[in-house]
Amino acid sequence: AAEDGSRAWLRYARVPNASSYRFLPSSIVALNSTSSSPIYTAGRELQKGIRGILGTHININGTAKQGSPSIVVGTVDAYQKIYGDLDEVEDLAGDGFFLSTEGRNVVIVGQNERGALYGAFEYLSRLGQEKFDPVAYVSNPHAPIRWVNEWDNLDGSIERGYAGPSIFFRDGYVVDNVTRVAEYARLLASIRINGIIINNVNANPELLNSRNIEGLGRLADVMRPYGVQLGISLNFASPQRFGGLDSFDPLDPKVDAWWANITDKIYSRVPDMAGYLVKANSEGQPGPLTYNRTLADGANMFARATKPHGGIVMFRAFVYDNHINPANWTADRANAGVEFFQHLDGKFDDNVVVQIKYGPIDFQVREPPSPLFSTLRKTSTAIELQVTQEYLGHQCHLVYLAPLWKEILEYDLRADDKPSKVKDIISSERFKRPLGGSAAVVNVGTNTTWIGSHLAMSNLYAYGIMAWDPSVEPDEVLQDWIRLTFGFDRQVIETMTDMSLKSWPAYENYTGNLGIQTLTDILYAHYGPNPASQDNNGWGQWTRADKDSLGMDRTVKNGTGNARQYPPAIARMYENVETTPDNLLLWFHHVPYTQRLKSGKTVIQHFYDAHYDGASVAQTFVKQWESLEGKIDVERYEHVRFLQTYQAGHALVWRDAINQFYYNLSEIPDEAKRVGNH
Ligand code: GCU
């Protein structure tokens, strides 16, 4: 059963109606495959999957046998050489695939090798869900960059990781046993992730020592058959801290040469390295501002080094001053992204992508999209999401995140009063940029569940599927994942769907209402309720709560002016209390506790009620899960039951802590007489 956890959605469990699948190929034909090629992987995967799902063994061949039906998998070029022209493939984009189950053969053709592997996984996903009807379609990615980020440290610990130690590093070096890394690459490939940054954005320069570069090579070697390209986070001061130079000034020629040289060295061991991720001048990290150079000067230095190798540079927009003065009413960390980057638009090299967290602060339970998405018009951008639940309960709370991501991706920022959905900006479509896409911080560990909870894996699955196609509906992705991970039982599907779709609203209700942010302890673990920790410090995650009122005034007329960073139509909406939606009221406005919401309730009464509602929903998750006893294997059933029971208790802690805190401050009684001193 523990193995079931590791297999996640790739269990290939026998489907109940396997015998009703009519197509019985005599062979799998993997075209042009050498053992490190994703085509070879595709052949093996098809064999394994069909054995599990349908219970039949099929041989893999390099060529088709005359006269008998086959599953043919390969690149367009290889396929057309043997079978002649395929009209459909004209529509294929990079990494895309064509799948046909309509003819004599099942045809799986990729624009490249990776695309063919994606097509094989798609076919198996269909079989595994008994989607047996004949189909023929092309599937192309929404964006070229579909990466995950891991915040692993060289000592094996993981920043904001909740599933045990690293699968990549131990005691300062890349691990010897890379089996688990290969398994992870397989999971990632099955959801069409094509790149992985394996170390913490707060990067250790020792990653660049010779033993580790050799280790990077071994990691890349086991991920290559899955079409997952390795990349690394860099410490900006490496030339000094590791290379022994007296400077890390990006405009110093010897610094530039040092980076070019080390980059060549890495590429000679990892010729297909995806590129670099850089966190500079943020939260104490070194960067170009130290030398009065611009962030673009810094990014372009890496762009020059990687360009000859076809690599790209993901440069993080998470740059802000963490010592801002809370006494200054107009100071605002949410303004930092646009303030630091707007003047640099057009100054980044073509292989630089600015990686922007979805909201202007930091992965809160509710944020508007970052205004930087609509500000950068001449710069490639990517969105940064989190599968690891840093502010969202550390995987101990069930929070299905696809609905949150969907809201952000579908958000229309109205740049130049034209349709400007975030998803079309990051795909490069809206502003016609060369690159774009998404990255999610996942933080897998050695735990058999991969990220600390079986149910949280729906988020990793949904991330990959939505990075490929953001038009999918969160409930449909979820149900695909449930069928593949837990099977077909109607009650299992309905119960897990219901719990998952209620989970984000419930968590928002008991942790951070009306856009106030997740009221967690921000000074230490980012865990558990601690609203007082938000204010009166330099971090800028302020709520500005006092005895009469709360919320950040981000208006132009009286506040930090953040509303103006959005295009005019959006700016007007947020400038005005009346037109700001309730769920972002306290993000944009500072209002009395007695302010009436559109619902007619006061802010404070909404707080009290929402906390009771959210916490009571968390109680029902336990009963819902327990109703599935006997329908889920014991190991996974017990693991989830333990977490749901914990969440139910912790939701009560949250409810009472937050409600009491605001009651103490405001001294306004709860109309339902639940909160206060009775
Ligand atoms: C958050 C998080 C840090 C992380 C940082 C980042 O502040 O708490 O652990 O390093 O974001 O994204 O760079």
Check pLDDT > 80 for residue 65. no
Please state, in angstroms and rounded to a whole number, the distance separating the CA atoms of residues 262 and 244.
13
Q: What is the dihedral of CA 441, 447, 453, 455, to 10 degrees?
A: 90
Asked if the structure places residue 566 within a domain, the reply is no
Asked if the structure places residue 272 within a domain, the reply is yes
293-350 pLDDT, tens digit each: 999 999 999 999 999 999 999 999 999 999 999 999 999 999 999 999 999 999 999 9
Q: Which ranges constitute the DSSP H helices of 276-421?
A: 295-306, 336-341, 372-375, 402-410
Tokens of 125: 């996903």
- Nearest-CA residue for atom 11 of ligand 1: 362
Helix (H/G/I), strand (E/B), else coil: 27: strand
Please state, in angstroms and rounded to a whole number, the distance separating the CA atoms of residues 224 and 582.
47
Same domain membership, residue 524 and residue 410 = no
108-167 pLDDT, tens digit each: 999 999 999 999 999 999 999 999 999 999 999 999 999 999 999 999 999 999 999 999
CA–chain centroid gap for 390, Å, is 12
Please state, in angstroms and rounded to a whole number, the distance separating the CA atoms of residues 89 and 142.
17
Q: Which of 385, 619, 633 has the alpha carbon at shortest distance from 486?
A: 633
Asked if the structure places residue 515 within a domain, the reply is yes
Q: How far is CA 240 from CA 233, 250, 259, in A?
A: 16, 12, 11
Helix (H/G/I), strand (E/B), else coil: 528: coil
Domain boundary among 96, 113, 139: 139
Check pLDDT > 80 for residue 588. yes
CA–chain centroid gap for 508, Å, is 19
Instruction: Read off the DSSP letter of residue 12.
Output: -
Q: Are 230 and 219 in contact (CB under 8 A)?
A: yes
What is the structure's pLDDT at 36?
86
Owning domain of residue 201? 145-486
Mean of pLDDT values over 273-281: 98
| C-beta neighbour count of 542 within 10 angstroms | 21
- Nearest-CA residue for atom 2 of ligand 1: 160
Q: How far is CA 438 from CA 158, 446, 450, 601, 624, in A?
A: 21, 25, 21, 38, 34
Split at pLDDT 50, 70, 90, the class of 68 is confident
Please state, in angstroms and rounded to a whole number, the distance separating the CA atoms of residues 342 and 61.
55
Tokens of 238: 């490496």
Helix (H/G/I), strand (E/B), else coil: 559: coil
Please state, in angstroms and rounded to a whole number, the distance separating the CA atoms of residues 671 and 358.
36
429-448 pLDDT, tens digit each: 999 999 999 999 999 999 99
Same domain membership, residue 130 and residue 37 = yes
Q: Is the dihedral of CA 509, 511, 517, 518 positive or negative?
A: negative
Residue 626 maps to which CATH number?
Answer: 3.90.1330.10
Helix (H/G/I), strand (E/B), else coil: 139: strand
Mean of pLDDT values over 536-557: 97
Same domain membership, residue 152 and residue 133 = no
Same domain membership, residue 660 and residue 517 = yes
Split at pLDDT 50, 70, 90, the class of 351 is very high
What is the structure's pLDDT at 678?
55
CA 390 – ligand 1 centroid, Å: 9
Pocket of ligand 1 (CB under 6 A): 159-160, 201-202, 279, 318, 362, 390
CA 278 – ligand 1 centroid, Å: 13
Please state, in angstroms and rounded to a whole number, the distance separating the CA atoms of residues 597 and 602.
6
| C-beta neighbour count of 206 within 10 angstroms | 15
Domain boundary among 139, 166, 201: 139
What is the structure's pLDDT at 2?
55
Same domain membership, residue 135 and residue 149 = no
Asked if the structure places residue 450 within a domain, the reply is yes
Which residues have a catalytic role annotated?
283, 362, 390
Check pLDDT > 90 for residue 388. yes
Q: How, if at all, do strands 70-75 and 106-110 pair?
A: parallel
Secondary structure of 215-256 as H, E, C letters: HHHHHHHHHHHHCCEEEEEECCCHHHHCCCCCCCCCCCHHHH
What is the structure's pLDDT at 3?
65
| C-beta neighbour count of 620 within 10 angstroms | 15
Predicted ipTM beyond 0.95: yes
Residue 321 maps to which CATH number?
Answer: 3.20.20.80
Same domain membership, residue 438 and residue 314 = yes
The β-bridge partners of 73 are: 30, 108
Please state, in angstroms and rounded to a whole number, the distance separating the CA atoms of residues 270 and 218.
9
Q: What is the DSSP string of 598-632?
A: TTS-BHHHHHHHHHHHHHHHHHHHHHHHHTTBTTB
What is the structure's pLDDT at 6?
85
183-220 pLDDT, tens digit each: 999 999 999 999 999 999 999 999 999 999 999 999 99
What is the structure's pLDDT at 24?
76
Q: Are 478 and 497 in contact (CB under 8 A)?
A: yes
- Nearest-CA residue for atom 7 of ligand 1: 362
Q: Which of 306, 248, 256, 338 has the alpha carbon at shortest distance from 560?
A: 338
What is the structure's pLDDT at 383?
98
Asked if the structure places residue 576 within a domain, the reply is no
Same domain membership, residue 191 and residue 121 = no
Asked if the structure places residue 677 within a domain, the reply is no
Q: Are 451 and 395 in contact (CB under 8 A)?
A: yes
CA–chain centroid gap for 245, Å, is 36
Same domain membership, residue 47 and residue 188 = no
Domain boundary among 78, 104, 139: 139
Check pLDDT > 60 for residue 1. no
Amino acid at 168: F
Tokens of 196: 């992985």
What is the structure's pLDDT at 26?
86
Same domain membership, residue 115 and residue 193 = no
Give the atom of ligand 1 at the shortest distance from the alpha carbon of 390.
8
Rg (the chain; Cα; Å): 26
Asked if the structure places residue 325 within a domain, the reply is yes
CA 385 – ligand 1 centroid, Å: 12
Same domain membership, residue 626 and residue 602 = yes
Cα three-residue angle 162-165-170, rounded to 5 degrees: 155
Helix (H/G/I), strand (E/B), else coil: 330: coil
CA 438 – ligand 1 centroid, Å: 17
Q: Which ranges constitute the DSSP H helices of 366-468?
A: 372-375, 402-410, 422-426, 457-468
Q: Are 99 and 107 in contact (CB under 8 A)?
A: yes
Tell which wins on pLDDT, 676 or 467.
467
User: Residue for token digits 């050489």?
Assistant: 81
CA 123 – ligand 1 centroid, Å: 38
Average pLDDT, the chain: 96
- Nearest-CA residue for atom 13 of ligand 1: 201
Same domain membership, residue 115 and residue 196 = no
Same domain membership, residue 260 and residue 228 = yes
Give the atom of ligand 1 at the shortest distance from the alpha carbon of 201.
13
CA 204 – ligand 1 centroid, Å: 15
Tell which wins on pLDDT, 88 or 596.
596
The pTM of the full predicted model, rounded to 2 decimals, is: 0.98
CA–chain centroid gap for 416, Å, is 29
Helix (H/G/I), strand (E/B), else coil: 193: coil
Asked if the structure places residue 491 within a domain, the reply is no
The β-bridge partners of 72 are: 29, 107
Give the atom of ligand 1 at the shortest distance from the alpha carbon of 384.
12
Please state, in angstroms and rounded to a whole number, the distance separating the CA atoms of residues 316 and 237.
16
Burial class (CB in 10 A: 0-12, 13-18, 19+), 453: buried
Task: Return all residues near 72 (Cβ < 8 A) that are at least 6 apart.
Answer: 29, 31, 64, 79, 83, 105, 106, 107, 108, 109
473-488 pLDDT, tens digit each: 999 999 999 999 999 9
Check pLDDT > 90 for residue 238. yes
Give the atom of ligand 1 at the shortest distance from the alpha carbon of 279.
13
Residue 13 maps to which CATH number?
Answer: 3.30.379.10
Q: What is the DSSP string of 78-105?
A: HHHHHH---GGGGGPPTT-EEEE-SSSS
Split at pLDDT 50, 70, 90, the class of 23 is confident
Give the total number of structural domains in the chain. 3
Mean of pLDDT values over 29-55: 93
Tokens of 64: 């088709």
Run of H or E including 70 = strand 70-75
Overall size of the chain counted in residues? 678
| C-beta neighbour count of 490 within 10 angstroms | 7
359-382 pLDDT, tens digit each: 999 999 999 999 999 999 999 999
| C-beta neighbour count of 470 within 10 angstroms | 22
Q: What is the DSSP string of 568-601?
A: HHHHHHHHSTTTS-GGGHHHH--EETTPBPTTS-
